[in-house]
Amino acid sequence: MAKHVYIKTFGCQMNERDSEIIEQLLAESGYIGVDDPGSADLILLNTCSIRAKAEQKVYSMLGQLRDEKIARPGLRIGVAGCVAQQEGEEIFRRMRHVDIVVGTQQIYRLPEMLARLESGESGRELAVDMHNDFAIPPFQKLLHGTGAAPSPAGGEYKKFVTIMQGCNNYCSYCVVPSTRGREVSRPVADILEEVRLLVGQGVREITLLGQNVNSYGRTNPVAAGPVTFADLLRQVAAIPGVERLRFTTSNPRDLSEELMRCFAELDNLCPQLHLPVQSGSNAILARMNRKYTVETYLDRVASLRRCQPDIALTTDIIVGFPGETEQDFEATMELLRTVRFHGSFSFKYSDRPNTRSADFADKVPEEIKSDRLQRFQSLQDEISLERNTGYIGKILDVMVESCSGQEAKGRTTTNHIVHFRSSRPLQPGDLVAVRVIHAGKHSLRGEPAPAAGQGNCSGKR
């Protein structure tokens, strides 16, 4: 009889992609994915450790699962992802009802680990070694998406494609280099093959994924000759059927002129970039080990806007980094006023294990962090609303994400969410020209533009 697996994913897109891979892998061992943990034989938490709160969430969810396990002793509980990598056996000590702990580079082992549990060969399974290598065959096979289960699941129109794992940047606050290991670029041929496969299955939008995509190809030889991220991007963009291409995340330090020019040259590269700046103070940036200055950042923003005047920029900000003074924080506010990001993700600093800043003096009190976060976010909201108001009256191509009754929702090339009413049913992936009629701080509202066929689907499906 088929078994049921419930996977809960926390954290970034890399974890989302890993969860898809895990689901695909477990399907080959007879597990069917379900949305209800109550009906699952296996509950797997794919976890994130980026901030203290993210980790606490995992432990509190595991705590809640204790009763479920008592009620259903046959239930298996597994922990994957960055908390699993970071904590290893400690998870078993704190949470005795957990059966499996599997690190970020060991997910391909899950089927054998489950088989050992099932056969009674072992009572608990732990795999947290790091091999820092894309080349080992099972991993490669998984990343190819060439398992028995179809990938993507029917009807999906946009997909992430992993181009590298790990990170060598060692920003002083960041847990990722320790939870994801060394930076390893995936071979170009494998990436192109996966993209072709996805496009052949009807996928129209591809997002290339890595913690620091701009350093693609630098740390290990990935092809016959040297290859930069811009080279890779051009090759992916040239694959027929890739209608929209995006990538994330870029470190400003490695954003080359060559890459910026891609925004001018490649029609299907969406005019949108997430470019985390973290702080507007050079003193703080130096302590964060970000290796760029505010001036360099502003220069790059100006170049980007020269290459692609319509580009929508988003960023990440940390407030209350150790030693951040009111003046440092004001510099971050000033940077926001200067760049006027379309949107941002902002976080209160928290200490993480195995990071240098955890040992820094001058920790900022919680109330001050909260106050700064609130001030930053309210200024960002104001700016986002002003920026979004600027789209009113424009006709934008919207790729449909969902459509329920007459209410449809989709995204522009700039990655803005647009809600609109459609007189006929639309499918995810359909392209509709929409005139923007209203702006909110987080989304736009529009109506199908008559010239584009009364809001009918202009896509191929």
| Interface with ligand SAH, residue 285, by CB under 6 A | no
| Peptide bond between residue 450 and the one before it cis (omega within 30 degrees of 0) | no
Residues 144-203 that bind ligand SAH (CB under 6 A): 173-174
x/- map, 288-327, ligand SF4, by CB under 6 A: ----------------------------------------
Q: Which of 15, 151, 185, 212 binds ligand SF4 (CB under 6 A)?
A: 212
> Closest by alpha carbon to 416, among 14, 394, 249?
394
For the chain, helix, strand, coil in percent to 5 are 40, 20, 40
Closer to ligand SAH by CB, 82 or 110: give it.
Answer: 82
Out of ligand F3S, ligand SAH, ligand SF4, none, what residue 320 binds, judged by CB under 5 to 8 A for its kind, is: none
Task: Kindly state whether residue 204 participates in binding ligand F3S, applying the rule CB under 6 A.
Answer: no
Contacts 24+ apart (CB under 8 A), 135-142: 138/108, 139/105, 139/108, 140/190, 141/108, 142/21, 142/24, 142/25, 142/107, 142/108
- The CA–CA distances, whole Å, from 346 to 200, 341, 375, 422 equal 38, 12, 11, 34
Task: Show the CA angle centred on residue 145, arms to residues 143 and 151, nearest 5°.
Answer: 140
Which residue's CB is nearer to ligand SF4, number 174 or number 312?
174
Select the binding partner of residue 352 from ligand F3S, ligand SF4, ligand SAH, none (C-beta < 5 to 8 A, by kind). Answer: ligand SAH
Are 255 and 301 in contact by the 8 Å Cβ rule? The answer is: no
CA-to-CA separations, 416 to 274, 407, 413, 446, in angstroms, rounded: 13, 17, 7, 12
103, burial (CB in 10 Å: exposed 0-12, middle 13-18, buried 19+): buried
Binding mask 386-425 for ligand F3S (x = CB under 6 A): ----------------------------------------
Determine if 316 is a binding residue for ligand SAH (CB under 6 A).
Answer: yes
| Number of amino acids touching ligand SAH (CB under 6 A) | 16
Question: H or E stretch including 173?
Answer: none
Binding mask 47-66 for ligand F3S (x = CB under 6 A): -xxx----------------
Binding status of residue 82 toward ligand F3S by CB under 6 A? yes
For ligand SF4, the binding residues in 238-257 under the rule CB under 6 A are: 251
User: By rule CB under 6 A, what count of residues binds ligand F3S?
Assistant: 13
Give the three-class secondary structure for 393: coil
Closest approach of Cβ 363 to ligand SAH, in Å? 12
**Alpha-carbon distance 400 to 409, whole Å?**
6
- Closer CB to ligand F3S, residue 163 or residue 457? 163
The answer to whether 214 contacts ligand SAH (rule: CB under 6 A) is: no
Contact residues for 199 (Cβ-Cβ < 8 A; gap 6+): 206, 239, 240, 241, 242
Q: Is 174 in the site for ligand SF4 (CB under 6 A)?
A: yes
List the single partner that 81 binds among ligand SAH, ligand F3S, ligand SF4, none, CB under 5 to 8 Å by kind. ligand F3S
| Contact footprint for ligand SF4 (CB under 6 A) | 167, 169-171, 174, 176-177, 211-212, 251
